[in-house]
Amino acid sequence: MTPDLPEADRIGSLEKIWAPPKGWRALSAVNHSIVGRRFMVTAFAFFLFGGVLAMLIRAQLALPGNAFMGPEAYNQVFTMHGTVMMFLFAIPVIEGFAIYMLPKMLGARDLAFPRLSAFAYWCYLFGGLIVAGSLLLGLAPDSGWFLYTPLSSSTYTPGINADVWLIGVTFVEVSAVAAGVEFMATILKVRTAGMALNRMPLMVWYLWVTAAMIVFGFPPLILGSILLEIERAFDWPFFDPARGGDPLLWQHLFWLFGHPEVYIIFLPAAGIVSTILPVLARHPMVGYTWIVVSVVGLGFISFGLWVHHMFATGIPDLALSFFSAASLLVVLPTAVQFFAWLATLLKGRPEMHLPMLFIYGFFFTFIIGGLTGVMVAVVPFDWQVHDTHFVVAHFHYVLIGGQIFPALAAAYYWLPHFTGRAVSQRLGKVVFWLILVGFTVTFLPMHLTGLLGMPRRVYTYAEGAGWEALNLTSSIGGFILAIGFALFIIDMLVQLRTPGQPVCNPWRTGGLEWAMDIPPPAYNIASLPWVRSRTPGNDTPDLTGDLAEGRGLLATPRNGWRETLAVDMIDGQPDQIVLLPGPTWIPLYTAIAAAVFFGGLLVKVYAVAVLGALAVLACGLVWVWDSGLKEDPERLDIGCGATALPHPAAIMPPSLWGLVFLLASNGALFASLVFGTLFLWTVAPNWPPPVLMGSDAPVIVGTLAGLVLALGGALRALRVGGRGHHGGRQAWLVVATLGGLVAAGGFAAVPVVLVPPVSGHAYAAVTAFAGAYMVFHAGLGAVFTGYAFARGRAGWLSAMRMVEVRAAVIWWVYTAAAGGVTLAVVHLLPRVAQS
């Protein structure tokens, strides 16, 4: 495409349209580069906080009988170390990296939902501050980072320490799920032209699988946290065995999240290796398709390992064998990647730059962590080392080896993206050796400490146990490691502030993230490329210059719109112009409202929590009201002779895919609830319950009728609306809204009228909870259709512009399906189980 404006005017317009807000208004920024940087800086700050806690732990354990910390303080410190590192660093730093880098790698100007990523950041920050701040008040969680019941129940942890974890971590998880949904929709739809699935950079495949794992892996823990908080606050006995609950249910829900979490952390790091290694080996990555297959395989199989954290809980041997087999199986896809990396090194001419050094460090450490992982996957061995320091050594080799070394490689590799200058590698080499040596001295002897029987989570040990020298060695290593990270911070600060030689593409790679000025402008690229390979920068001699001069797509701004492309998800053919939002306060306001909600729950002032929830709903409605067009658009020129519709007129814009993935995540939560119900019926003690819910046929029929009316009404509204019958569409939306309210009323009868007292037995508690879940969904479904009705009245809908109605249909398809299952579980399961 030849731009029809002079270059200076075109670039000036782009800069004006995409200009980030200044001063205190910068808090309203939604641009992905800004939000991504905020995520990464905040995550690194939490990493330092968690690191200081690690130093406290090592100081305490350096000597036997050490009085440096008492058991209460130590419990808070080791719980917070794990919680901060896993929830406030490991996942958010990946999110920050992906938010910053994904659009650049995809040849896009931003993510699909910039406001959602800004909202995710604020939720992360507020949730993180709740969790981290509690330590300063001496109210930090102290039941371990997995918060096992009954230790975390109100009986044994009566203060708000456990509530801080449950509420703060759930707040952070809202952020993670939001980011996961955003990444899935963005990768599937918001790519540049020509970027078919087989031309996506490997890093993007890794991030897509990671995002899917977040979307499906976090909900079990969110459910578990909600149930445990309800138990603690209102005495609903989900986990109390005396009243039909089961502590093992918590462990299942936690580890259903917890094991995939390890791979959620590892996969993006492996993606970093698969990106950097071929560049510095000067050879294309060997086995692209094999790696994609192995990453997909890892994504699935990692969900079949959760019970290997529960081998010592008394689960039948044969059931353990399924999980042991899956735990051994997961080695294969990991090995495929390792062999592909080795083959690439062997076929290339590796250059020993600093990032490569950290990748070799990753190989060395992660292999050891992987091998000890195979050992603990074998049930009899796991029984021997369960809850010992061997396990602590193993997972630090996996997590630090599997994430930190690649992350440090990434920091040095992509540093020029932030500075615009070449990397100075001198100090970095000292950093590498300090970290590698410090890490090895800390954690290698710890395997032996564990094999000699030292348990985890003890604040001290007696002299003469044979653990003294090993612990002192680990503590010395820990401080060497800390010095290494301190030097890394100094190196980064120096390199960010020191002037140097400007560079464009320091590693001479063909990746799209380097086909732009660095540091990148707010719009990333002045025009979008039409790519024909995985390394477009190698296909065109001066791709950066061509794109900057407007010889690409969407080169000329129009109407003040922030534009990027959406494509066919398989072949990468352009099919929509996505109109992105500019700076807005609404993500921050929504996150503040959510903070009021979570804060109200934490201090147990529930009226405040209700106000917060209503404020979230109001913010949400304001959020979506601004989107869309009031007139039917025509197909618009995008360059290269191609045209596309603006997304509000598309059949499936990225926002609807976002809704689909959000509901998939919600479905994972619902499936976990059904699993939990069946688990209690099948395994928990003190079942069957003494009193069952009364059978009430009119309630069942009324609820079903409400669901049918709501779904049918939404579908009819879509059909008649698509034919241009404005009045008919509005009428059916009213029918659907009324149906939703009827269904919500029917489900409300379950917790309010039908179940026995909820504190009496886990049966009543879980049944009431299932009813409340459906009240929420049917009620929100009524809001969806009511909102579509209001949009229709205000002139935002037409036969061509039906996004809101489609969203309502998608919501009601899910709600009707979940409602049907809930009716069966609530009303039929007790009868079947009793018979």
Q: Could you give the string, one character per residue 602-641, with x where binding to other proteins holds by CB under 8 A and - elsewhere?
A: ----------------------------------------
What string marks each residue from 559 to 578 as x (binds other proteins by CB under 8 A) or -? ---------xxxxx------
Residue 325 CB, nearest distance to other proteins (Å)?
5
Q: How far is the CB of 468 from other proteins (least distance, A)?
A: 41
Given candidates 2, 155, 313, 321, which one binds other proteins under the rule CB under 8 A? 321
With CB under 8 A as the contact rule, which of the stretches 116-124, 299-307, 443-451, 579-587 interacts with other proteins? 299-307
Distance CA 293, CA 208 (A): 13
Q: Which residues contact 659 (CB under 8 A, 6 or more apart)?
A: 807, 810, 811
Question: Among residues 129, 329, 378, 783, which is the contact residue for other proteins, using CB under 8 A?
Answer: 329
CB nearer to other proteins: pick between 292 and 592: 292
Task: Name every residue whose Cβ is closer than 8 Å to that of residue 807 and which is 6 or more positions away in sequence.
Answer: 655, 656, 659, 784, 788
Three-state SS at 435: helix
Place of tokens 């009954």: 150
The yes or no reply on residue 322 touching other proteins (CB under 8 A) is yes
SS3 196: coil
Smallest CA-to-CA distance from 168 within 686, 544, 750, 598 is with 598
> d(Cα 783, Cα 392) in Å, to the nearest integer?
48
- With CB under 8 A as the contact rule, which of the stretches 284-292, 369-377, 716-724, 797-805 interacts with other proteins? 284-292
Cβ proximity to other proteins: between 36 and 258 the closer is 258
Taking the least distance from each CB to other proteins, the nearer of 27 and 674 is 674
Q: Which is nearer to other proteins, 325 or 605 (CB)?
A: 325
Choice from 68, 300, 585, 625 touching other proteins (CB under 8 A) = 300
Q: Name residues contacting other proteins, limited to 143-202 (CB under 8 A).
A: 188, 196-199
Query: Using the rule CB under 8 A, which residue among 98, 112, 272, 301 binds other proteins?
Result: 301
Residue 219, H or E segment? helix 202-234
* Count of residues of this chain found to bind other proteins when the rule CB under 8 A is applied: 37
3-state SS assignment for residue 421: strand
CB of 322 to other proteins, least distance (A): 6
Please count the other Cβ atoms lying within 10 Å of the Cβ belonging to residue 690.
12
Closest CA to 359 of 375, 376, 337, 374: 337
8, 67, 318, 832: which one contacts other proteins (CB under 8 A)? 318
Nearer to other proteins, 522 or 659 (CB): 659
Nearer to other proteins, 300 or 381 (CB): 300
How many angstroms separate the CA atoms of 296 and 290, rounded? 10
Contact between 374 and other proteins per CB under 8 A: no
Q: Does 325 bind other proteins (CB under 8 A)?
A: yes
Q: Which among 768, 804, 802, 767 has a CA at the least distance from the CA of 785? A: 804
List binders of other proteins among 197-236 (CB under 8 A).
197-199
- Cβ proximity to other proteins: between 301 and 595 the closer is 301
DSSP helix/strand/coil, 636? strand
292 binds other proteins (CB under 8 A): yes
Q: Does 289 bind other proteins (CB under 8 A)?
A: yes
Residue with tokens 């719109």: 561
Locus of tokens 């350096």: 62
Contacting residue, 150, 284, 304, 722, with other proteins by CB under 8 A:
304
Residue with Cβ nearer other proteins (55 or 652): 652
Residue 338 in the binding site for other proteins (CB under 8 A): no
Q: How far is the CB of 597 from other proteins (least distance, A)?
A: 34
Max CA pair span of the chain: 85
Which range, of 172-180, 292-300, 441-449, 588-596, touches other proteins by CB under 8 A?
Answer: 292-300
CB of 299 or CB of 786, closer to other proteins: 299
Residue 297 interacting with other proteins (CB under 8 A):
yes
Rounded to whole angstroms, what are the CA distances from 565 to 35, 103, 257?
Answer: 21, 11, 34
Is 221 in a helix, a strand, or coil? helix
CB 252 within 8 A of CB 155: no
How far is 44 from 27, CA to CA, in rounded Å?
19
* Closer by beta carbon to other proteins, 205 or else 485: 205
From edge to edge, which strands make up the β-sheet containing 562-567? 562-567, 574-580, 642-646, 636-639
Site for other proteins contains 501 (CB under 8 A): no
Neighbours of 15 (CB within 10 A): 14
Site string for other proteins, 235-274 (x = CB under 8 A): ----------------------------------------
In the complex with other proteins, the residue whose CB is nearer, 322 or 606, is 322
- The nearest distance, CB 195 to other proteins, in angstroms, is 10
Query: Nearer Cβ to other proteins, position 326 or 782?
Result: 326
The 10 Å Cβ neighbour count of residue 378 is: 15
* Distance separating alpha carbons of residues 152 and 132, to the nearest angstrom: 18
Q: Given the rule CB under 8 A, which of 167-175, 323-331, 369-377, 584-592 is the region that contacts other proteins?
A: 323-331
340, 328, 335, 273: which is closest to 301 by C-alpha? Answer: 328
Q: What angle, 0 to 180 degrees and rounded to 10, lies between the N-to-C axes of helices 247-281 and 91-106? A: 40
Nearest CA to 589 among 119, 114, 26, 88?
A: 119
**CB-nearer residue toward other proteins: 76 or 302:** 302
Footprint on residues 518-537 left by other proteins (CB under 8 A):
532
Site for other proteins (CB under 8 A): which residue of 148, 290, 360, 381?
A: 290
Shortest distance in whole angstroms from residue 302 CB to other proteins: 11
Separation of alpha carbons 781 and 6, rounded Å: 49
Q: Positive or negative CA dihedral for 402, 408, 409, 410?
A: positive
Is residue 65 near other proteins by the rule CB under 8 A? Answer: no
> From the CB of 572, what's the least distance to other proteins, in Å?
8
- Residue 43 or residue 187: which is nearer to other proteins going by CB? 187
**Contact in structure between 509 and 535 (CB atoms under 8 Å):** yes
Among the listed ranges 30-38, 120-128, 326-334, 432-440, the one in contact with other proteins (CB under 8 A) is 326-334
Which CB atom, from 643 or from 682, has the smaller least distance to other proteins? 682
Q: Which of 81, 56, 76, 89 is nearest to 143 (CA)?
A: 76
Contacts (CB under 8 A) with other proteins, residues 641-700: 651-652, 682-683
Angle between helix axes 654-683 and 247-281 (nearest 10 degrees) is 140
Residue 621 or 678 having the CB closest to other proteins: 678
Q: How far is CA 770 from CA 242, 820, 829, in A?
A: 21, 12, 13
Residue position matching structure tokens 């996150």: 591
Query: Which residues form the interface with other proteins (CB under 8 A)?
Result: 188, 196-199, 289-290, 292-293, 296-297, 299-301, 303-304, 316-319, 321-322, 325-326, 329, 332-333, 532, 568-572, 651-652, 682-683
